[in-house]
């Protein structure tokens, strides 16, 4: 499972980079391939789930601390469009401490959510809770890439709030 510390230190970006390397090399995707299996376990551990803008707003309302920053995987794809991520509670604190996001009011975070053209987000589990709400850029998203490679990672909602 990924932790807030992985996000604070940037270890998460390195993990995504390694996962993308495996997913982008289609020949490595044979079932039972140990490298592929390791990536699959790590990706599934985020329990990513698509949520609507309304569900994102509900999670924001229930959070004590909210921060907004660039989606973390854009560090690997600087040429891609900017999309924003809302970080909640301890992840918001960790990202703000690291200078990777800014603490905002819930109202400001909702404005960010409502400004996203697709109005669909991926909620990811960090340190055991859904603390990352990403306005995804699907062509570069590691979860979307995994699905395209045949790894089923998007599950049913696993949090009573969403």
Interaction of residue 134 with ligand SF4, rule CB under 6 A: yes
Choice between 110 and 145, CB closer to ligand SF4: 145
| Nearest distance, CB of residue 74 and ligand SF4, angstroms | 7
When asked if residue 88 is in the footprint of ligand SF4 (CB under 6 A), the reply is: no
Contact between 100 and ligand SF4 by CB under 6 A: the answer reads no
Is the distance from CB of 40 to CB of 151 less than 8 angstroms? Answer: yes
Q: Quote the tokens at residue 127.
A: 């340190």
**Residue with smaller CB distance to ligand SF4, 57 or 141:** 141
Angle at 78 between CA 75 and CA 82, to 5 degrees: 90
Under the binding rule (CB under 6 A), the answer on residue 63 touching ligand SF4 is no
Q: Which stretch binds ligand SF4 (CB under 6 A): 24-32, 93-101, 136-144, 147-155?
A: 136-144
Q: How far is residue 67's CA from residue 69's CA, in Å, rounded to a whole number?
A: 7
Give the span between the Cα atoms of 22 and 24, in whole angstroms: 6
Residue among 32 and 70 whose Cβ is closer to ligand SF4: 70
Report the phi/psi class of residue 26: left, alpha or beta, with left for phi > 0 and alpha for psi in -120 to 50: alpha
Closest Cα to residue 38, out of 22, 57, 61? Answer: 22
**Residue 30 or 96 having the CB closest to ligand SF4:** 96
Which positions lie near ligand SF4, rule CB under 6 A? 16, 71-73, 122, 124, 134, 136-137, 141-143
């Amino acid at each position: 499972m990924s932790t807030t510390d992985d996000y604070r230190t940037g270890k998460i970006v390195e993990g995504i980079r390694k996962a993308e390397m495996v997913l982008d090399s289609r020949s490595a995707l044979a079932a039972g391939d140990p490298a592929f299996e390791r990536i699959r376990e790590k990706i599934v551990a985020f329990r990513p789930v698509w949520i609507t803008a309304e569900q994102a707003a509900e999670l924001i309302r229930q959070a004590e601390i909210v921060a907004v920053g660039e989606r973390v995987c854009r560090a690997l794809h600087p040429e891609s469009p900017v999309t924003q991520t809302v970080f909640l509670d301890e992840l918001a604190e960790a990202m703000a401490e690291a200078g990777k996001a800014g603490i905002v009011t819930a109202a400001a975070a909702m404005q960010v959510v409502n400004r996203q053209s697709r109005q669909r987000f991926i909620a990811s589990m960090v340190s055991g809770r859904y603390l990352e709400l990403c306005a995804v850029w699907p062509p570069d998203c590691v979860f979307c890439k995994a699905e395209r490679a045949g790894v089923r990672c998007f599950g049913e909602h696993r949090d009573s709030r969403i």
